[in-house]
A and B are shown apart, each in its own frame.
Chain A
């Protein structure tokens, strides 16, 4: 498997590993049967993601994309965090092998799943932002 140096860096030295205690939101996606599970926890203050952490069971790119995705939303407003895409995560890692693109989608879904929980809990869902959560219904393994 040929991974970029960025992927290897985020795999060997992952950022934001762990779980936030008393997190404001958490989301878990994937399943053990398919070989990848990601759990993202968020600390949110005044509409800003002040901290993000992850725990991942999965391959090298699953760990690297979790690390990168949490890194990309830290310090961002909820509105900005909602715009995270798997493409952006993959690009930030200087690309992923085609058969690993599903890992980046899973990372996006983990973040979105945590955000969705927060939006629902705090009555923030509107017709304008609802579509940002559409990707949660996709099967990550269909992503190419």
Chain B
């Protein structure tokens, strides 16, 4: 079946580089290849590109250009924010608050600190995946040095009350980091309005290439460096700048911000139609994540009695690229920590399917997906001993 139409529905994993972004980025590889730290003209030309990109990113986030630091991606930004704060403020306190549903870049950074004697409180979320600001407040202690709560979740799309959590942190004079990797380009971000001190974004989630990101660090906030070396990024992040990536990230973010109202409206309409169609046509299905407070492009279902990898494999066979939180796709024994944190029993978490829309997504693709999914779920249920038990029990 190599002749089926390929439909990419995994935009939360990564996105293609869009043509307008390639246009500004490609010349930087071949013609404008100078090192921004070099004295001569081509170096200064590269410096100008990086400076412009920094201004543009700052404008998109309502920040000052001096608060924008380019990194190698979301993972580095998260590591830097958390480990850098811990190293800078470890003398003041050793307690960090986060949530159960953070990306592993945050959770595993916290684990690494826990091994060095820091204490981590991961607050629970409700059944829709929401972190309650009051739960964050209750977790704060006199020795808390950092709160890290993601802006929007990569699996279930739930959008957190960042502004409210930020206000609580400010009131208690605790630094607040948000992983906005899934939010950037999809939701408006105003760092002042959101009360954040540190914010991570990653280019490849909004049609820039992989391997470039940003850490926003509020003016006056001191965190330790993660990478030591040259004087790049105002002595705070060493390493020759990824100039093509930086130029691309800035352009992609500008475009995403300019198009945001239209994209959000279009995608949330497609999203809601897909949810409605699938829920009405396929019984024993649940929607994971918040019904309304969710990313415009995120849909996450659990189909009872069947397992996620087998759904993905059949979907792949029919041309669709999606993802799942089942253990079999993660290479571990446990299904996704996010699905377990919202209270799903293991067997239902194993049966999850994430569909994330993007620029290329057409209503027609989703109509076909719904029809194919209906058949796939029926086929797999016909093979499942769990389904048989339930149907015999009259459920």
Q: How far is the CA of A30 from the CA of B329 in the complex (A)?
A: 18
B347 touches A56 (CB 8 A): no
Give the tally of cross-chain contacts (CB within 8 A): 74
The one of A3, A12, A39, A57 in contact with B307, judged by C-beta atoms closer than 8 angstroms, is: A57
In the complex, which of the residues A17, A35, A99, A141 has the most CB atoms of chain B within 10 Å of its own CB atom?
A: A35
B313 touches A57 (CB 8 A): no
A63 within 8 A of B: yes
Q: How far is the CA of A32 from the CA of B308 in the complex (A)?
A: 12
State which residues 103-144 of A face B: CB under 8 Å. Answer: 141
Q: How far is the CA of A139 from the CA of B383 in the complex (A)?
A: 23
State which residues 295-337 of B face A: CB under 8 Å. Answer: 305-310, 313-314, 317, 326-329, 331, 333, 335
Q: How far is the CA of A78 from the CA of B198 in the complex (A)?
A: 66
A35 touches B328 (CB 8 A): yes
State which residues 30-57 of A face B: CB under 8 Å. Answer: 32-39, 55-57
The one of A1, A34, A37 in contact with B385, judged by C-beta atoms closer than 8 angstroms, is: A37
B385 touches A57 (CB 8 A): yes
B350 within 8 A of A: yes
B62 within 8 A of A: no
CB-CB under 8 A from B346, the residues of chain A are: 32-35
Known: A12-B314, A141-B333. A62 touches B385 (CB 8 A): no
Q: How far is the CA of A17 from the CA of B385 in the complex (A)?
A: 11
Name the residue of chain B whose CB is nearest to the CB of A39. Answer: B385
A35 touches B350 (CB 8 A): yes
* Shortest Cβ gap from B314 to chain A (Å): 7
B371 within 8 A of A: no
The one of A1, A14, A33, A141 in contact with B383, judged by C-beta atoms closer than 8 angstroms, is: A14
Q: How far is the CA of A39 from the CA of B317 in the complex (A)?
A: 26
Q: How far is the CA of A36 from the CA of B310 in the complex (A)?
A: 11
In the complex, which of the residues A8, A56, A59 has the most CB atoms of chain B within 10 Å of its own CB atom?
A: A59
B331 touches A99 (CB 8 A): yes
Q: How far is the CA of A15 from the CA of B237 in the complex (A)?
A: 58
Known: A55-B385, A58-B310, A59-B309. A35 touches B335 (CB 8 A): yes
Q: How far is the CA of A106 from the CA of B350 in the complex (A)?
A: 18
* Shortest Cβ gap from A141 to chain B (Å): 6
Name the residue of chain A whose CB is nearest to the CB of B384. Answer: A57
Q: How many residues of B contact A (CB 8 A)?
A: 26
B333 touches A57 (CB 8 A): no
Q: How many residues of A contact B (CB 8 A)?
A: 27
CB-CB under 8 A from A38, the residues of chain B are: 385
Binding site of A, secondary structure by majority: helix, strand, loop or mixed?
mixed
A37 touches B386 (CB 8 A): yes
User: Interface code A6-24, partner B: CB below 8 Å = 1, 0 otherwise?
Assistant: 0010011010010100000
B347 touches A33 (CB 8 A): yes
* Shortest Cβ gap from A106 to chain B (Å): 12
A60 within 8 A of B: yes
* Shortest Cβ gap from B347 to chain A (Å): 4
B111 within 8 A of A: no
* Shortest Cβ gap from A52 to chain B (Å): 15
B388 within 8 A of A: yes
* Shortest Cβ gap from B304 to chain A (Å): 10
B378 within 8 A of A: no
The one of B313, B326, B384 in contact with A11, judged by C-beta atoms closer than 8 angstroms, is: B313
B388 touches A1 (CB 8 A): no
A32 touches B386 (CB 8 A): yes
Q: How far is the CA of A121 from the CA of B383 in the complex (A)?
A: 27
* Shortest Cβ gap from A81 to chain B (Å): 21
18 of the cross-chain contacts (CB-CB < 8 Å) are A1-B329, A3-B313, A8-B317, A11-B314, A12-B314, A28-B385, A32-B350, A33-B345, A34-B346, A35-B327, A35-B347, A39-B385, A55-B385, A56-B384, A57-B386, A58-B307, A59-B326, A60-B313
B binding-site residues for A, Cβ under 8 Å: 305-310, 313-314, 317, 326-329, 331, 333, 335, 345-347, 350, 382-386, 388
Known A35-B327, A59-B328; 15 more pairs at CB < 8 Å: A1-B329, A14-B383, A28-B385, A33-B346, A33-B347, A34-B333, A35-B335, A55-B383, A55-B388, A56-B384, A56-B385, A57-B347, A57-B383, A58-B328, A63-B383
